């Protein structure tokens, strides 16, 4: 990457985004670890949920009960709200790009791979690659070995004798 102002700016944005993702992951890990010691009712209810549904449910908790339980549930609620805030920090252009690519039929895993090293502007200019139809032979650099027509057996000659 060039060492000009544009390159430094892109690097700074990339570092900030990476930091946000790391902080969000760490916060989700903290939620999972605190749930291990949460009261039975809350632990069972929350461990049955996954992803955004779990975070949303925890952020709506109303900490009540005795002192230790209130403290534990308040900590979970605070962490869940932090996850929501960190999630909301994705660039508007990136979210729009993900929506476009999803509407175009790309899988989530492919979109994440494409976003890995590209800005949303460059990704939106990337043509959609269609997978080959089941009847067409594979093509491209990763299509695998090509098969050639069968060769005559060395034990037989054109005259048919061995």
Question: How many Å apart are CA 43 and CA 141, to the nearest integer?
Answer: 50
- Would you list the domain boundaries of the chain? 10-87, 92-124
| pLDDT attached to residue 123 | 46
Q: Measure the CA–CA gap between 84 and 21, rounded to whole angstroms.
A: 12
* Position 130 pLDDT exceeds 50: no
* Residue 109: predicted pLDDT: 87
Interatomic CA distance for residues 145 and 138, integer angstroms: 10
* Rounded Cα distance, 50 and 115, in Å: 24
Structure tokens at 108: 């989530």
Tokens representing 37 are 């010691």
Q: What is the pLDDT of residues 4-41, one digit of tens each?
A: 777 777 788 778 888 998 999 999 999 999 988 887 87
pLDDT surpassing 60 at residue 154: no
pLDDT > 50? residue 49: yes
């Amino acid at each position: 990457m060039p060492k000009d102002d544009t390159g430094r700016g892109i690097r700074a944005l990339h570092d900030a985004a990476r930091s946000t993702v790391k902080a969000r992951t760490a916060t989700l890990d903290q939620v999972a670890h605190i749930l291990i010691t949460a009261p039975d009712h809350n632990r069972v209810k929350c461990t049955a949920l996954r992803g955004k549904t779990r975070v949303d449910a925890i952020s709506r908790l109303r900490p009540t009960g005795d002192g230790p339980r209130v403290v534990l549930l308040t900590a979970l609620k605070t962490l869940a709200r932090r996850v929501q805030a960190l999630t909301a920090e994705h660039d508007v252009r990136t979210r729009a790009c993900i929506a476009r690519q999803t509407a175009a039929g790309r899988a989530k895993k492919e979109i994440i791979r494409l976003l890995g090293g590209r800005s949303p502007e460059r990704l939106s200019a990337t043509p959609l690659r269609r997978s080959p139809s089941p009847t067409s032979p594979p093509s491209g650099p990763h299509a695998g070995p090509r098969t050639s027509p069968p060769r005559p057996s060395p034990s037989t000659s054109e005259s048919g004798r061995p």
